Structure 1
Amino acid sequence: MNIKAQIPNLFTMLNLFSGCVALVMITDLRFDLAFYFVCLGIFFDFFDGFFARKFNVAGPLGVQLDSLADMVTSGVVPGYVMFKLLSNNDAFGTQSYLPYLGFIITLGACYRLAKFNIDERQSDSFIGLPTPANALFFSSLPLINIAFYDDNFSGVIYNKWFLVILTLISAYVMNAEIPLFSLKIKNFSFAKYKLQISFLAVSILVLIFLQILAIPLIIILYVLLSVADNYFHITKKQ
């Protein structure tokens, strides 16, 4: 057995394990631990690809395992978070089926992961919001409410229409034909990577000052900057 070939798969399995634990934490309403395990899963997800490229052992099995693991950590988990948020909303009765709308996030993630596997345009950048970023967005929402709790803020975070609209937007943005700029910086050239470097610098500052609240803001900023960058390049060509 080629040990090197199995190292990326080990990290993929750790990603999947982290997602499974996150689901248990959500069931117990331990949203803080669920968020940390999502972060851990995304960390493992990064390194499975890193080691596959480093050891030159990337193959079809690893691609499929990666998507299956992401389906749990970055697909089922955020959908389950939204299900729990909607279930805890007083506006819904105990017999309401509306909380199941939260799993539209899971369906959107599944469709995006399947498209990603056959889309050759996304080798260096993304088209549509990546599922790990989407998972971070939704798994951070309960923590924001805890960290910045007040009646007005809580009313927004747990408003039923706000949550349903976020769910629908999420499924759309993951699968929309929106090119997102790559965060891969191959050499430190500010002229070539000024957008990426500026975005990362702003993200670090926002994280320092706003902490958990920075997570969804950074993801929203990433999408908006990408849209603006695309518009600028289209306008420039005309």
Structure 2
Amino acid sequence: MFKRNLPNMLTLANLASGVLAIIALFEGRWDLILWFLGASLVFDFLDGLVARALGVHSELGLQLDSMADLISFGLAPGIALFHTFQEAGRSGEPLPDFLPYLALLVPIFSALRLAKFNLDDRQEEFFIGLPTPSNAILLYSLCLWAQTTSNPTTEAILLHPFFLTALSIISSLLLVAELPLMSFKIKDWSWKANRSRIILVLGIVVLFALLRFRALAFIIPLYLLISLLFKPGKRA
């Protein structure tokens, strides 16, 4: 019984981490947000890994995984973006009342993305559209940077209504875009099959060495760029 339910327990831990992130957001504890995001990412990785290792895949696990991802990587970053919109309104020109609600696009399109993924048999070796965890990393990192920067120019850019509006729309559309993006499901250990992944990992190491936690804001654009350059899913 324990063996069969272990992956589901990890999935529920992912969901719990997402709920804790939402609570931290409402309490203004931005210092905890990345820790809860990191926990969600780890549990999301482990549930699939453990399910494959133990051979205990189930339809229940598939549905639970989507529900947990919607909370941790859809709703939670959407709320973070909503709070950032509100901060922009308090620190600059008053925003139109409707503008912060553009952040709702994130959980809405995340739900659509996750539903499509469960029905799409083309995503065995690569993703089509930006995965919800990647989108969460992008949104959290930019929102956290906006909340913690001491640079007036950076703050003005990250809290500008046009920037936040564009971020809401573009990140949401990327979730459902017919855009092939690399995954880390490795089946062939050759350089040719893994060069894009190796370049991405090296790029991430360099970014963290130069920018520390702010590197998170550049990892997803780098991931998108490398995926576009190497075009996963196409034979060389």
Aligned-residue offset at 1:154:
0.3
Call closer, same or farther: CA 1:225–1:118 in 2, change over 3 Å. same
Query: Residue 178 of structure 1 aligns to which amino acid in structure 2?
Result: L
Aligned-residue offset at 1:94:
8.2
Per-residue CA deviation, residues 141-160 of structure 1 (Å, 9 max, x unaligned), is 23323554211110001001
TM-score relative to the length of structure 2: 0.92
Q: Secondary structure at the match of 1:149?
A: coil
Contact preservation (8 Å) 1:157, 1:163: yes
Aligned-residue offset at 1:187:
5.5
- 1:1-238 matches, cutoff 5 A: 2-90=1-89, 91=92, 93=94, 96-146=97-147, 148-186=149-187, 188-230=189-231
Question: Unpaired runs of 5+ in structure 2?
Answer: none
Aligned residues: 234
Q: Secondary structure at the match of 1:172?
A: helix
Aligned-residue offset at 1:183:
2.1
Q: Secondary structure at the match of 2:231?
A: helix
> Take 1:210 and 1:145, find their aligned partners in 2: how far apart are those partners?
15
Per-residue CA deviation, residues 94-149 of structure 1 (Å, 9 max, x unaligned), is 88232111111111111100100111111221100000011111111233235542
> Take 1:22 and 1:199, find their aligned partners in 2: how far apart are those partners?
27
Q: Secondary structure at the match of 1:120?
A: coil
Compare 32-41 and 222-231 and name the one that shifted more.
222-231
Query: Residue 11 of structure 1 aligns to which amino acid in structure 2?
Result: L
Aligned-residue offset at 1:57:
0.4
Call closer, same or farther: CA 1:95–1:228 in 2, change over 3 Å. closer
Contact preservation (8 Å) 1:31, 1:139: no
> Take 2:127 and 2:86, find their aligned partners in 1: how far apart are those partners?
33
